[in-house]
Amino acid sequence: MKKQKILSWLKSRRVAVLRGGWSSERTISLKTGEAVLQSFRRLGVKPADIDVRPNVAQVLNKKKIQFCFNALHGPFGEDGRIQGLLDVLRIPYTGSDALASAVAMDKHLSKEIFVRAGVATPAGVTVLKSDFASKPAETYKKLHLLISKGPLFVKPIDQGSAIGVSRISKKSELTPALKKCFRLSKGALVERLIIGKELTVGILGKMPLPVTEIIAKHDFYDFYSKYSQGGSRHITPAPISKGAARRAQILALRAFQALGCTVYGRVDIMMKSEKEMFVLEINTIPGMTGTSLMPEAAAKAGIGFDDLVLKIVELSLKARGGRF
C-alpha cells in the first residue's frame, strides 16, 4: 500500500532528476541519473531530466519542479550546496540535508567528528594548500614523521570517487602526491594505510545493508576500479564471520549517524582484523550505475532497483517533513 502511495505522490507532482553538473565526477553522475530516470519511467513516473548548470535555479522555477532526485556526485552536488539551494527554493530532495552533506564531503571535518564520536578511523593529518606554500618545512616535518611509520594515502579533502588519490611509501613521493591534490582541492588528507580487507556498507534509513568486500584490480579502489567493467570484484555478503559483519554494520551506522546523515549512503571501511576496523569515509550520494555497490547490496537484501529508488524517495520525504 505504501508503495502505491509513494507512486501516486510522485505521479501527481513535477519531479526532476538532477544529474551531470560540472565536477570531476560528471560522467558518473550522468550514468547514475540515467539509471534513476529509467527506473522512474518503468514505474510510470515522467520526470524532467535536468543536466545541472549554473542557471539551475531558473530552470527549476521555469519547470515548476516540486521534487528532485539528486543524482549529482562531487562538489556542488554532494557537498551541501545544491541541497542548500533546494532548501531556499523549498523543493524537497533526496538524501542527507545540506549540513550533513557538507561535513561528509569534507574528509578533514568528518575525520574530526569520527574521532570525537569514538568512531575508529585511520591516523592522519590535513595539509592545506596555503600552509604548504607558506610553511613547507613545518609541513614536511609532520609528513616525514608520519611516513616513517609506514605507507600512506594522500587524498583531496573534498573530492569523491578516489579522484586525485595517491598511495605512497617513500618521502620522495610526498610532493607529487600533494601537488596532485592541490590541483583539485584546497587541501589534502594524508592518512595511514591500513592493510586488510576493504569493506563497504550501504545504509538505507537506519538499516545497514549486507556487507560487501571490494577486491580491486589496481593497488587500491581507484577511479578505474570503481567504474570500469572488470576493474574490481564485489563479494556480497563479504566472506567474513557473522560477528565481523555485524560489527562492520554497527560501525557503519554509528559513523553515518555521527555526521548527521539520513536517508541513504555508503560507508567505506578497512578491516585490519575481524575485531579491528576503521572507517575511511561516507558517500552521501552513492553511485547507481551498472557497477555500483549500493544497488548490489540492496539486491542481496531483497530490494530491487526500482524499490530502492522508491524507498529513497519515501525516506527523503520523511526527512524533509513531507506527508503522502
State how beta strands 124-128 and 264-273 pair.
Answer: unpaired
Report the length, in residues, of the chain.
324
The catalytic residue positions are 25, 161, 227, 266, 268, 281, 283, 287
Q: Check: CB of residue 114 under 8 Å from CB of residue 121.
A: yes
Q: Check: CB of residue 234 under 8 Å from CB of residue 212.
A: yes
Cβ burial, residue 169 (10 Å; 0-12/13-18/19+): exposed
Q: How far apart are the first and last CA of the chain?
A: 12
Point out which residues pair with 235 in neighbouring strands.
213
- Ranges assigned E (strand) in 96-237: 124-128, 152-156, 166-168, 187-192, 197-204, 207-208, 212-216, 232-235
